[in-house]
Amino acid sequence: MSFTAVFRSPIASLSQVAKKLDEKVVIFCSQLAKRLEVDEAQMVIEFQACLKYFELEETKEIEKIKSKKLSEEEKEEKKRQLEAEKAEKLRQKEEEKEEKQKQRELEKLQKQQQKEAEKLEKQKQKELEKLQKQQQKEEEKLRKQQIKEGKKSEKSPKSSPKSSPKSPSLGFDFENEDPVEFNMEEKFWTCKEKSINKEKLLLHAETGLVIRLVDGQPEFYGWKSSSENGVYQEDKMVLDKFMPIKSWAKKCGIHVPSLADQVEFEDEEEEIVLEEDEEEEIILDEE
């Protein structure tokens, strides 16, 4: 069994119908020619031409439909392509966005880690400096205590309450220590700011030198013993035992008025003592 066998009978019938229609057309043309009183042969030719025209028009319409259908398919295909390209661009954009977000988060994490590392390093450095300063203070305190105890053992006891002012211990070895050029930026010349009679002065703890700054230049104001509360003022330091202090200060580039003016030293000394329970004329206050 085949499709040819299946459609053979309908096709044969359709062919018979077509032949009959062709015969009828000839008869139709003959009758129409007689009625119109025109040539019969010419009528057949014109009628067939009309049929041919309809056939051509039908073919054109079919081609037009086919063309229209093809154009619509092309449009649909182009539309699908545009949508696919749009989806691809959107996907790429989302991927780029995610990649940038990951990069920003990574950079943020790296910066945070770096910041924490720097903070930890600073904390370690700070603790180390604190420990070093504490050690230096302990060493300085121990050294001063040793000097103080050594000087106390050298002192002779008082003979009576009305004896002359006690001889101060110089503490710092002004005769053997090399002079150090005065410079506020020099570590050796680290001074504390003190107030005497409301005047701002500098006290150098290691040597006991009390210095005032005059137009930015250092001037010798006096000297404070490490074992006493008072301050010996420069113009009262006339005994020979004070000479090493003033000479050493002068060699450091500190102006010493009594040496510059060649003042004769007198055989007297004056010490201003600060009592804990009353206010004296010359007082040392920490700023």
Tokens 């180390």 label which residue? 128
Average pLDDT, the chain: 79
| Predicted pLDDT at 281 | 37
Domains in the chain, number: 1
Tokens 């013993």 label which residue? 225
For CA atoms 101, 103, 108, 113, the dihedral sign is positive
The answer to whether residue 78 is domain-embedded is: no
More confident residue, 275 or 37: 37
Separation of alpha carbons 269 and 241, rounded Å: 10
Buried/exposed code over 44-64 (b: 16+ C-beta within 10 A; e: otherwise): beebeeeeeeeeeeeeeeeee
The answer to whether residue 252 is domain-embedded is: yes
pLDDT tens per residue, range 251-261: 999 999 988 75
State which residues form the domain around 193: 187-286
The answer to whether residue 226 is domain-embedded is: yes
Instruction: Reply yes or no on whether the pLDDT at 31 is more than 50.
Output: yes
Separation of alpha carbons 183 and 188, rounded Å: 9
Give φ, ψ of 120 to 5 degrees: -65, -40
The answer to whether residue 1 is domain-embedded is: no
Instruction: Reply yes or no on whether the pLDDT at 79 is more than 60.
Output: yes
Token digits of residue 200: 């701002």
The answer to whether residue 43 is domain-embedded is: no
pLDDT tens per residue, range 139-190: 888 888 888 777 665 654 444 333 334 456 677 889 999 999 999 888 999 9
CB atoms within 10 A of CB 213: 13
Cα separation values, 180 from 188, 253, 255, Å: 8, 9, 14
More confident residue, 95 or 51: 95
CA dihedral 11, 12, 13, 18 (to 10 degrees): 90
The answer to whether residue 117 is domain-embedded is: no
The answer to whether residue 215 is domain-embedded is: yes
Tokens 């930890």 label which residue? 120
The answer to whether residue 216 is domain-embedded is: yes
> Which of 77-86, 206-215, 260-269 is predicted least confidently?
260-269
| Predicted pLDDT at 157 | 47
Going by C-alpha positions, the residue among 168, 157, 176 that lies closest to residue 222 is 168
More confident residue, 272 or 108: 108
Contacts 24+ apart (CB under 8 A), 245-248: 245/170, 245/174, 245/209, 246/220, 247/174, 248/174, 248/175, 248/177, 248/179, 248/207
